[in-house]
Amino acid sequence: MPSLLELESIAKRFGPVRALEDVSFDLRAGEIHALAGENGAGKSTTMRVVDGIVQPDAGEIRIDGKRHRIRSPLEAQALGIGFVHQEIALCPDVSVSENIFMAATAASRARLMDFSELERKSREVLAELTDVDPRAKVGTLSISNQQLVEIAKALTLDARILILDEPTSALTEAETVKLFNIVHKLRQKGLGIIHITHRMAEIFGHCDRVTVFRDGRYVDCLDVAQTTPEDVVSRMVGRKISNLYPPKLDGPAGRPILEVQGLSDGMLLDDVSFSLREGEILGIGGLIGSGRSELVKTICGLGPRRSGTVTLEGRRISISNYATALECGMVYVSEDRKVEGLFLDLPIRANISALRPTQVSTPLGLIDRAAEEAQADRLGKRLRLKAASLGQPPSMLSGGNQQKVALARMLSVDPKVVFLDEPTRGVDVGAKSEIHSILRGLAQDGVGVIVISSELPELIGLADRILVMHEGRLTGEVGPEAMTEETIITLASGLGASAAAGQLEGMAQ
C-alpha cells in the first residue's frame, strides 16, 4: 500500500539561505508521526511545502502514490490536507465561529452548501476542545484559546492529512490532554497526523514514528517503541546533551531584590504578595487565565494597578508605565512575540537595541549602525542566534530564533529584574537548555529572575521556588522539597489551600 503522503528529495532556498536540502518524509494512514529537530531545522518550511505556501526548488510530493504539485493552500485543502500553523493566523476582529466557518466555506468544493450543517459541525468540534463562546471575537481570546480555535478550524475541514505545527506550545496541560484525545480518535479513523514538537514527552507518549531533521536535512526516521529520548535528542543536535537543566541555587538565597505587597488590579489580581531574593530563580505556575501574566505585567506598569506596593532593592518604587519600569531596571519579555514582542519587519539589530536606543546612538542622537551591529552581534553570539544576517527581520527566522532575539533585547539593558513569560515556548531542546543556563547565569550575577511557564517539568527543573496562582490569587509557594507536578497542579486548581498554608509556614522558618 502506498504511503498517504511522501516527500522525496525536497530542496528549497530563500536567497542565500538553504532552508531544505534533500528532505524526505513519509506518512502512513492511521499514524501520528512526530517531526523533530532544532530551531531552524526546516520542519515548518517542509510542511509549508506540503500546504502549497512554499514552492520547492526540487523534489517530489506524492499523495496515495500519485505525484502532485500543490500550488496553494486551497489546493492543499482540496487534497485533504489540514494545517494548524505554528503562529496563529486567525482574523482577530471576526468571531470564533465565523473564523472556523470561513475556512470550511473556502475549502468546500460544493456550489450549494449546507451552512447550518457547517455551523453545527464547527460548534461541535469547538465544544470538544474548549468552552469559549463561539460568538466571541477571536482577538479577545487568550493565546491558548486562539490556538484551540485554530485547531478546531483544521478539524472542521475533514482533512485526511492533518499537520500540527507545535500545537501544544501555547496550551495548558489540561488542554493538551484534550487535544491528544481528539488526535487519537482521528488516528483511529485512519487519518495521518504530523505532529511537530520539541517535547519528548509528547513524542514518546503519543506518536508512532518520529522523523528527525537537522540543518534542513533528513536525518532519520525511527519507530518510537524502539528508540529513546536520548537517541532522538542526539540525532537532533548531532551530539549528546546530558544535563537538561542547570544546577539549582546551592544554599540560601540572598537579600530581597524585589518585594511585592498586597497587589491588586481591581479586576483579577487580588492581594498578591511575594518577594524575590538574590540568586534565586522564582517560577510562577498556574493555569492560563489564573493571573500569572497579569501579575508580572502589573508590576511592570503594563497593566492597571488598584493597590499594593513594589519595593526594588529596598526602595519603594512607583511604576506608572513600562518606561518607568525600564528606567528602574525591570524588563518584561512577553509570551506573545507577534503582538507585544518583536517588530517582526525591522532588522534583528534594531529589535535588539530598541529598549535603549541611546546605547547605540551618536551624540547627535542618530543610530550608530556599527554600534548597533556590534551589540546585536555580541548578544546574538551569546544566545547562539541563527540568522543569515543581523539585518534580516525576525519574520524570516524560525520560532525559536525569534525568541532568542527577544532575549537578546532583554539582555541589552543590563537589567536588575527580568520577568519572562513562557520564555522557551517553541524553543528546541538545545536552545532551551542554553536559555536556562543564561537565566541561571543572570541569577548568579545578582539579577532577579522571574519565569512564568505552563510546562511543569520546566518550572520544576529550572526554578528554586515556585509561586502558584489560581483565579488571581497566590494559592501556594512551593520550595525545593515539595516540587512535584502533583503539588503544583493541586494548588493551580485551587484545591490545596490548606496544604499551601502549611508550606508557606514551612518556607517562613
Ligand X SMILES: Nc1ncnc2c1ncn2[C@@H]1O[C@H](COP(=O)(O)OP(=O)(O)OP(=O)(O)O)[C@@H](O)[C@H]1O
Give residues in contact with Mg ion (CB under 5 A).
Answer: 44, 86
Q: Which residues lie closer than 8 Å to 40 by C-beta, 6 or more apart?
A: 215, 386, 397, 398, 400, 401
Q: Which residues lie closer than 8 Å to 317 by C-beta, 6 or more apart?
A: 310, 311, 328
Closest CA to 293 of 332, 242, 244: 332
Backbone dihedral region for residue 217 (phi beyond 0: left; psi -120 to 50: alpha; all else: beta): beta
Task: Considering the complex, state which of residue 14 and residue 115 has its C-beta at the smaller distance from ligand X.
Answer: 14
Distance between CA 31 and CA 492 in Å, rounded?
34
Q: Least Å distance between CB 25 and Mg ion?
A: 15
Task: Considering the complex, state which of residue 79 and residue 397 has its C-beta at the smaller distance from ligand X.
Answer: 397
Q: Least Å distance between CB 400 and ligand X?
A: 4
Task: Considering the complex, state which of residue 422 and residue 464 has its C-beta at the smaller distance from ligand X.
Answer: 422
Q: Least Å distance between CB 7 and ligand X?
A: 14
Place of cell 499523495: 63
| Chain positions contacting ligand X, by CB under 6 A | 14, 17, 19, 37, 39-45, 86, 396-400, 426, 428
Q: Least Å distance between CB 175 and ligand X?
A: 20
DSSP letters for 194-245: EEE-S-HHHHHHH-SEEEEEETTEEEEEEEGGG--HHHHHHHHHSS-----S
Task: Considering the complex, state which of residue 158 and residue 215 has its C-beta at the smaller distance from ligand X.
Answer: 215
Task: Considering the complex, state which of residue 37 and residue 80 has its C-beta at the smaller distance from ligand X.
Answer: 37
Interacting partner of 192 out of Mg ion, ligand X, none (Cβ under 5 to 8 A depending on kind): none
Angle, CA 390 vertex, CA 389 and CA 395 arms, to 5°: 90
Distance between CA 495 and CA 483 in Å, rounded?
16
Distance between CA 216 and CA 388 in Å, rounded?
14
Task: Considering the complex, state which of residue 137 and residue 386 has its C-beta at the smaller distance from ligand X.
Answer: 386
DSSP state letter for 110? -
At residue 437, the 3 state secondary structure works out as helix
Q: Least Å distance between CB 170 and Mg ion?
A: 13
| CA 431 centroid distance within chain | 13
Task: Considering the complex, state which of residue 130 and residue 176 has its C-beta at the smaller distance from ligand X.
Answer: 176
Q: Least Å distance between CB 35 and Mg ion?
A: 9
Q: Least Å distance between CB 346 and Mg ion?
A: 21
Interacting partner of 394 out of ligand X, Mg ion, none (Cβ under 5 to 8 A depending on kind): none
Interacting partner of 19 out of Mg ion, ligand X, none (Cβ under 5 to 8 A depending on kind): ligand X
Q: Least Å distance between CB 44 and Mg ion?
A: 3
Interacting partner of 288 out of ligand X, Mg ion, none (Cβ under 5 to 8 A depending on kind): none
Cα-Cα-Cα-Cα dihedral sign, residues 363, 368, 370, 374: positive
Longest C-alpha distance within the chain, in Å? 72
Task: Considering the complex, state which of residue 43 and residue 436 has its C-beta at the smaller distance from ligand X.
Answer: 43
Distance between CA 288 and CA 492 in Å, rounded?
10
Distance between CA 221 and CA 21 in Å, rounded?
16
What beta strand segments (E) does 361-452 contain? 417-421, 448-452
Task: Considering the complex, state which of residue 54 and residue 284 has its C-beta at the smaller distance from ligand X.
Answer: 54
Q: Least Å distance between CB 16 and ligand X?
A: 9
Q: Are strands 17-27 and 5-14 parallel, antiparallel or unpaired?
A: antiparallel
DSSP letters for 136-177: SBGGGS-HHHHHHHHHHHHHHTT-SEEEEESTTTTS-HHHHH
Task: Considering the complex, state which of residue 44 and residue 433 has its C-beta at the smaller distance from Mg ion.
Answer: 44
Q: Least Å distance between CB 339 and ligand X?
A: 18
DSSP state letter for 428? -
